[in-house]
Amino acid sequence: MQQTQDYQGKLEEGGLAGALARLVEAGVSGLLTVSDGKTERRLYIESGGVVYTSSDAPDERIGESLVRAGKLTPADLVEGLKVHKASRKPLGGVLVERGLVKPKELFNSVKSLVREILSICVTTGEGSWKFNNEAVPPEIVRLQLNTGQTVFEALRGIDDWTRVSRGIPGMEAVLKPADAVPALYSSVRLSASERSALSLFDGVHTIKEILEKSEKNELDALKTVFVLYSTGLLEVVPRVAVETGPALDEVGITAALDDIRCKNHYEILGLEEDAPTEDIESACARLIKEYDPDRSYPEGKGHLREALEEIRAKLTEARNILADDSQRWEYDLSLAPVVSGKGGHGKARAAKDPEGAKAAFSRGVADFRNRDFVAASEHFIEATRLDPTKAPYFSYLALAFLQRPRREADAEEAMLAAVRIEPDNADHRANLGLLYQKAGIKDKAREAFAEALKLDPNNAKALAATGKTKK
């Protein structure tokens, strides 16, 4: 791209996600203007991503944003705007100078607003955009923004059927994982269903054929394809004939089905318990191809399709559980219960990587203190997987789950694991009681607090929860 050349397009023709990826790939800096016909929004690009945004919409300005967040009163905003207009100083600087907002509050609000405007630009389905190489104004505060992840999450939120269906190449198109993922989206965090979808697109079957086998509703399944295709993680390939191969031997199919019914998920895929996610995906894809029910059968042998479909269903179930961190953690616990102390039964699990677990736990604690409970949960899950012998890892995981909606069952499972490892630790029992108390399970809460006080009559958490005093 020449330094003086403009770059432009219509939002209806592929949206903004692809254009942003190409601009970042080209390593350019400048101004990307997005218009929906009513409002003009500006994205300032530098150093491989969006560093700032601005908008003509009154409610997409920092003053109004601070008021909505409860960090500034309407009267204080009016006062700040008067000084801003008279002095021509940036409004944010005026608000901080006059003590109307704290610097950290201003910074957080600006960053949140930048993400909001970027998300609006990405999700707008009609209008136009234009990029030119004019210099980014020096007075703009450059923000370290994860542009790719922000775009990805914005696309996930689109629920308009017309927009989603228009954003894919057609139901008869054949897709496969891209050979070269755009740099902007190369490090985005995919959900389990997105990782699963990537493995299903094999460059052979059409979008329609793959979605017909999906357990998700049609819009959700199509949205996943839309997001992965819009960000260049999936690419179109020419349609090739399906190689069904010769019919599998009936004895071999029957033996494979009997064998797979007796194995756990790791054994089904032929993997060790510490196998990385990419190995899980590739092993499942290979086995699904090997036991593909969409093949030819000798006359009178059509019943073999049912056996192959059951094999494929079990392979898919194994992949879906093991490729999802939370589900895999729960499944690992079910395979090998962690026990210690009197009355335990089952096999004890050994630490695989104590130092790696300790590092993951430290990252989780830092995220927990910053109230990023999703990231904290992920780090604590990693710690429990690398070293399932440490009760604090499970205890902190339970507390992180407890701060997230609809994760009470996961929190209980983690706290029970901590109790199994250290059955004589009163704090674990008290935390379990607090968990049950929050869930409204009063009988179990009282029982857990009683166990905690039996172990330690002066346990502060149990005493506070039961209204008792120290002895």
pLDDT of residue 248: 56
| Domain total of the chain | 4
Same domain, 127 and 41: yes
Co-location of 93 and 26 in the same domain: yes
Residues 121 and 11 in one domain: yes
The domain of 21 spans: 7-145
Claim to verify: residue 113 and residue 203 sit in the same structural domain: no
**Within this chain, do residues 165 and 95 fall inside the same structural domain, yes or no?**
no
Collapse the DSSP code of 227 into the 3-class scheme (helix H, G, I; strand E, B; otherwise coil) and give the result. helix
Residue 9, φ and ψ in degrees, nearest 5: -175, 180
User: Has residue 395 been placed in a domain?
Assistant: yes
Answer yes or no: are the C-beta atoms of 40 and 34 closer than 8 Å.
yes
The answer to whether the CB of 350 falls within 8 A of the CB of 389 is yes
pLDDT, residue 345, reads: 36
- Number of H helices and E strands in the chain, helices first, is 22, 7
pLDDT at 5: 47
* Both tokens assigned to 31: 């101004």
Contact 396, 364 (CB under 8 A): yes
Supply the pLDDT for residue 244: 41
- Determine, yes or no, domain membership for 182: yes
Q: Are 401 and 411 in contact (CB under 8 A)?
A: yes
Position 159 pLDDT exceeds 50: yes
Residue 33 has a pLDDT of 92
Domain boundary (89, 117, 145) is at 145
Q: Are 103 and 208 in a shared domain?
A: no
Neighbours of 343 (CB within 10 A): 6
35 strand-pairing partners: 40, 128
Once rounded to an integer, what is the mean pLDDT over residues 302-330? 79
Domain boundary among the residues 118, 145, 172 is at 145
How many whole angstroms separate alpha carbon 192 and alpha carbon 215? 14
End-to-end CA separation in angstroms for the chain: 77
Q: Does any domain span residue 151?
A: no
Q: Assess whether 374 and 396 both reside in one domain.
A: yes
Same-domain status, 261 and 223: no
The tokens for 166 are 């228009």
265-304 residue pLDDT tens: 888 888 877 777 778 888 888 887 777 766 545 555 566 7
Within a domain: 328: no
DSSP 470: -
Residue at 347 is within a domain: no
Spatial distance between the Cα atoms of 455 and 453, rounded to a whole number of angstroms? 5
Residues 319 and 213 in one domain: no
Give yes or no: residues 369 and 303 share one domain: no
User: Would 377 be classed as within a structural domain?
Assistant: yes
Residue 2: pLDDT over 60:
no
Residue 124 in domain: yes
Average pLDDT along the chain: 80
d(CA 101, CA 114): 18
Of 145, 173, 195, which closes a domain? Answer: 145
pLDDT of residue 295: 57
Query: Residue holding tokens 């050349």?
Result: 5
- Measured CA to CA, the distance from residue 185 to residue 181 in angstroms comes to 7
Q: Is residue 336 one of the residues assigned to a domain?
A: no
Lowest mean pLDDT among 12-16, 320-324, 344-348, 418-422: 344-348
Per residue in 260-271, pLDDT (tens digit) is 877 788 888 888
The answer to whether 44 and 117 are in contact (CB under 8 A) is no
- Interval 162-204: pLDDT, tens: 788 888 888 888 888 988 888 888 888 888 888 888 888 888 7
